[in-house]
Amino acid sequence: MRTRHIAGSPAPLGTFLECGGANFSLYSRSATGASLLFYDHPDDIQPSRVLTLDPAIQRTYHYWHLFVPGIEPGQLYAWSLSGPWDPLRGKRFDDSKPLLDPYGKAVVVPKNYDRTSASVYGIAASTPPMKSVLVDPTAYDWGDDKPPRRPSSRTIIYETHVRGFTRHPSSGLDENRRGTYAGLIEKIPYLRDLGITAVELMPVSAFDPHDAPAGRTNYWGYAPISFFSPHPFYSSDQSPLGPVDEFRDMVKALHRAGIEVILDVVYNHTAEGGGNGPTFSFRGIEDATYYLRDHERGQYANYSGTGNTLNANHPVVRRLILDSLRYWVNEMHVDGFRFDLASILSRDESGQVLPNPPVVWDIETEPSLAGVKLIAEAWDAAGLYQVGSFVGDAWKEWNGRFRDDVRDFFRGAEDSVSRVADRLIGSPEIYLHQGREAEQSVNFVTCHDGFTMNDLVTYESKRNEANGEENRDGANDNRSWNCGIEGLTEDPEIETLRERQIKNFFATTLLSLGVPMILMGDEMRRSQGGNNNAYCQDHEASWLDWSLLPEHAGLHRFVTQLAERRQRRDLGPEGQCLSELIREAEIIWHGIRCGQPDWSEQSHSLALTVEIRRHRMRFHYMMNAWREPLLFELPCVAGAEWRRWIDTALASPEDIVSWEEAPIFHQHEYRVEAHSVVAVVARMEDA
């Protein structure tokens, strides 16, 4: 029995509490020696205890393991590995470096942490390292928490940033709760009132905030150092175990409000960067396993644009990804994942694209992930674009073509009418060949990466000088339109047009088939001053300024009313919501004349009738992206009257009204103002 306690077990990887102690297990194929380091405090430089493993009894195949009696949750630890130094062959061992456990469930960062301490050139003896924390995943009372499991047809996603959502002084929260998981809990009533059913959180796995140009901070979080640990700086409780429990408090509170939690996960690269980057964990444990390499040049392959790319289809890395996803679902109760640069998951060890990538099918067929929302950002930084062709049956996709085509249409680009028509009905041109439902398409006009919606109608050129890269970073193809004046203006006509364009974008997103996604703060015209790549801007320019809410109360009301009508299930005896009914309806296309759609390159107008015969209802949408008003002919509705539901050219509160209060429109034509969207509805019960 004593020998078993000393030797421990190779499974499971990471840590496991049992028998009055904990088992530790680590994969490293090429290491020649391993030590486990224990620390008493986050700011400790030197370990208080070092246990050197005996490979004769504490190594099984490629797994180093030992059982340590008497330690408890909250214990700080790290690994140290010795072995060859041969970077060109993926061997970067340095026993002076404390290494984070790849399976660690929490991370602590010392107050005086210096990223240079993790340099490939050695560790400063006076600098404390980051440490992993021993966690008991079962030590939390979930009560009666259950996943909402909301159907995709009844889902409205709000992409948000945990810190940016409540960090601004205008949030009204106490200083210690601003920018935290606890702070987000306090804003749940706002999310419910807005009509949100799922929050898509930008990366919350522990990341390196120092992975940014000098003098700046990695704000977005796409620089992971751990795939299991909640980011410690998003917790108001800075004890070693505080972030784990506070994250779960947030999930439980969101579930109680009927809101799902989708995590933006980064399984395509890490914060260790290129060959001269820091070593936190993976590089010092088994570099050749974890990263793709360009063997001809002896460098890391870089399909992520960050200096390294995870070797996602290697069996060990596949296991890491699957174990991580299972952990977030089973122990942290999250409801879905958005996979950053998901096309990298399709690459093999040489970087070639696989027709059936193993890791994608592993995720697809994992029983514990059944029913979990899986969303792919179906492209990578090396030009691979898989929107409409990402492998797998359960996967949904960020529809980048919806974003581009809707932007094109409303800025008056030529040859955009037929494209926007396809986007309105779930992009069958893209997805129908796979026999997928419309909800495979996640529809958005803006996301964290690019202009906010306010900036989309304010700037035609990006303003990224603050990032320190002389405005070279960020996308140049923004498909934006400043409505006549570049930048801020007090011209009331320009401001009215900009507000109208924003309402056009929201109406199109929330009335189209597919899963709509809204970017944090767009509903109150949050601006980043034209910065379309604010990844390193952790200050008030990126945070949500809550004082914008009363200033733009009309727009906020417009979005809330749209979301509420999309969700309501009072349209028929089956209790279907609007998007479900539209998916089953007959669609008739028009131009400004009924039955005569204009698909020409010069066309800037479109209309469609949605006829739901079994519920005796009709909807008629008219879209005018032309610079002048247009008269649209209305279809005849025998036995009913058209009621004006939406007109984005009208001021609040006339721009959108409840169906019960919608005014009857008796004329046979409707004047649709320039750059506006109109929706009318007819119900046979009005007869």
pLDDT tens-digit map of 192-216: 999 999 999 999 999 999 999 999 9
Q: CB-side exposure of 97: number of CA atoms within 13 Å?
A: 26
For residues 98 and 190, membership in a common domain is answered with no
Name the 3-class secondary structure at 579: helix
| 286, 340, 380, 404: the active-site residue | 340
Predicted local distance difference test score (pLDDT) of residue 122: 47
Dist CA 341 CA 389 (whole Å): 14
Distance (Å) of CA 41 to CA 48, 108, 133, 202: 9, 9, 11, 29
Residue 379 lies in a domain: yes
The token pair at 67 is 């059982």
Name the 3-class secondary structure at 162: helix
For residues 559 and 499, membership in a common domain is answered with yes
| Nearest to 79, CA basis, from 138, 39, 19, 29 | 39
Pairing of strands 91-92, 59-60: unpaired
For residues 71 and 170, membership in a common domain is answered with no
For residues 398 and 524, membership in a common domain is answered with yes
Dist CA 503 CA 460 (whole Å): 19
Predicted local distance difference test score (pLDDT) of residue 575: 79
For residues 83 and 160, membership in a common domain is answered with no
Dist CA 517 CA 581 (whole Å): 20
Q: CB-side exposure of 347: number of CA atoms within 13 Å?
A: 30
Residues 6+ apart with CB under 8 A from 242: 232, 235, 236
| Percent of the chain scoring above 70 in pLDDT | 97
CATH, residue 219: 3.20.20.80
Residue 364 annotated as catalytic: no
CATH, residue 13: 2.60.40.10
Residue 12 lies in a domain: yes
For residues 208 and 122, membership in a common domain is answered with no
Residue 665 lies in a domain: yes
For residues 119 and 189, membership in a common domain is answered with no
Quote the number of domains for the chain.
3
Predicted local distance difference test score (pLDDT) of residue 127: 83
* pLDDT, tens digit (0-9, with 9 covering 90-100), for 401-453: 999 999 999 999 999 999 999 999 999 999 976 667 899 999 999 999 999 99
Predicted local distance difference test score (pLDDT) of residue 337: 98
The token pair at 115 is 């990223």
Do 211 and 203 form a contact (C-beta atoms < 8 A)? no
Which residue among 539, 567, 595 closes a domain?
567
Which residue among 540, 567, 594 closes a domain?
567
* pLDDT, tens digit (0-9, with 9 covering 90-100), for 73-104: 999 999 999 999 999 889 999 999 999 999 99
Do 502 and 431 form a contact (C-beta atoms < 8 A)? no
Residue 145 lies in a domain: no
| 377, 404, 455, 655: the active-site residue | 377
Residue 136 annotated as catalytic: no
All residue ranges of the chain with pLDDT < 70 are: 1-5, 116-126, 433-435, 572-573, 685-687
Which residue among 535, 567, 599 closes a domain?
567
Dist CA 165 CA 184 (whole Å): 7
For residues 119 and 166, membership in a common domain is answered with no
pTM here is 0.97
| Nearest to 129, CA basis, from 145, 149, 114 | 114
The token pair at 91 is 């061997």
Residue numbers of the domain that contains 344: 152-567
Residue 138 lies in a domain: no
Residue 419 lies in a domain: yes
* pLDDT, tens digit (0-9, with 9 covering 90-100), for 573-592: 677 888 888 888 899 999 99
Residue 144 lies in a domain: no
For residues 202 and 284, membership in a common domain is answered with yes
Dist CA 454 CA 521 (whole Å): 9
Residue 560 lies in a domain: yes
For residues 193 and 126, membership in a common domain is answered with no
For residues 425 and 357, membership in a common domain is answered with yes
CATH, residue 594: 2.60.40.1180
For residues 410 and 459, membership in a common domain is answered with yes
Q: What is the dihedral of CA 291, 295, 299, 305, to 10 degrees?
A: -60
Q: Which DSSP string corresponds to 500-541?
A: HHHHHHHHHHHHSSSEEEEETTGGGT---TT-S--TT--STT
* pLDDT, tens digit (0-9, with 9 covering 90-100), for 521-542: 999 999 999 999 999 999 999 9
